[in-house]
Amino acid sequence: MAWRAIKKQGHQSQMPGPRRPEVMQLGFVCALLSLLAGNSWADTRTIGARECHPNSQPWQAGLFYVTRNPYRLLCGATLVSDRWLLTAAHCQRPYLWVRLGEHHLWKWEGPEQLFRVTEFFPHPGFNQDLRAQDHNNDIMLIRLPRKARLGPAVQPLNISETCVSPGTQCLISGWGAVSSPIVEYPLTLQCANISILEPRRCRLAYPGQISKRMLCAGLWEGGRGSCQGDSGGPLVCHGALAGVVSGGSEPCSRPRRPAVYSSVCHYVRWIRKTMEEY
C-alpha cells in the first residue's frame, strides 16, 4: 500500500498555464477520480469524475503549502463551523494557506476567502512519524485565525454522528489527480458519486491495516475514487460529513483497491471537545 507516500510526482500536467505543473504537483497519495489503471490504453484517460457545479460544495476547502513551488495544492479539507476545518492529520505543515469559496483554482471568481493557518489539532492518537506507515487516527482540526464569512459559496457541513452502512451512496470532491499513474490535476473542483464498501472487503484490500475507525469507499470494480491531492477532503453521505480522505494505493482506483477514509462518526466526541476548548 502506498498511502500518502511522500514523494514527488514525476509527471507534468498537460494542463495549460505557466506554472501549473509545479504548482499542482504534490506529494500525497490520494486524490480524486481516476481511471482504468493497469490498462495501458487507459493510462491517461479519466473516468468517473466530473466538474462539480460551481460552489455546490460550499464546505470544500483547499489547503496550500508554499515551498519552493508557490501555492502547491497539498490537501482538501471541510469547513465544519465558521471557525474550524476538518482534514487529515498527515496534511499538517508548519503553516498552510486555506482557500474557501473556491472552484476554479486560477481564476478569481468572487467568493474566495484566503486564510493563513497555524493552529493545528491533529488527533492525539495519530503517529506523527509518517515513515511508520501507521494510518490510524488520520484526522485533524484546523482553527481559522478569524471567522469565515458565510454565504452561498461558503457554508459549514454537519459532521455525521451516526456511522454510515455499506452500500450508502456518497459524494466525494476535490482538486486531486484525475488520472493515475500519470497524474493530471484539474483546475476546477471535481465531484463523484461512490459507495461505502463492506469492512470485510476493505480489510481484504489492505490486510492488517484497517481499524474500526476507518472505512473504504469507492467502487469495488475500480475506476472511480479519491487520488493524490484529495487527502483530507470530504466524503459526504446523507448530507453530512462521514469520512475524511486518508489514503489508498497507487495507481488510484484500481479494482479491489478502494481509497481509505477516517470514519468521522468515531471522532465526534473528540471533535466537539476540541472545538469547545479552543
User: Is 181 in a helix, a strand, or coil?
Assistant: coil
119 vs 161 by CB, closer to ligand NAG: 161
Round to whole Å and give the CA distance between 129 and 266: 23
> Is 231 designated active site?
yes
For the beta carbon of residue 150, count every other beta carbon within 10 angstroms: 15
Residue window 150-169: x/- pattern of binding to ligand NAG, with contact defined by CB under 6 A: --------x-----------
> Is 123 designated active site?
no
Amino acid at 255: P
List 13, 34, 103, 138, catalytic entry = 138
Round to whole Å and give the CA distance between 245 and 268: 16
**According to CB under 6 A, which residues from 79 to 138 bind ligand NAG?**
none
The footprint of ligand NAG on this chain (CB under 6 A) covers a number of residues equal to 6
51 vs 109 by CB, closer to ligand NAG: 51
Residue 53, exposed/middle/buried by CB under 10 A (0-12, 13-18, 19+)?
exposed
Chain-centroid distance, C-alpha 30: 7
Candidate list 61, 140, 192, 264; residue touching ligand NAG; CB under 6 A:
192
Nearest distance from C-beta of residue 239 to ligand NAG, angstroms:
5
> Is 90 designated active site?
yes
List 231, 246, 249, 262, catalytic entry = 231
Residue 116 · residue 97 · CB < 8 Å: yes
State the cell numbers at 170. 456518497
Nearest distance from C-beta of residue 52 to ligand NAG, angstroms:
7
Distances from the Cα of 199 to the Cα of 8, 26, 167, 172, 265, angstroms: 31, 29, 11, 19, 15
Nearest distance from C-beta of residue 50 to ligand NAG, angstroms:
5
State the cell numbers at 250. 497507487
Residue window 202-241: x/- pattern of binding to ligand NAG, with contact defined by CB under 6 A: -------------------------------------x--
Please list the active-site residues. 90, 138, 231
Residues that bind ligand NAG (CB under 6 A): 50, 158, 191-193, 239
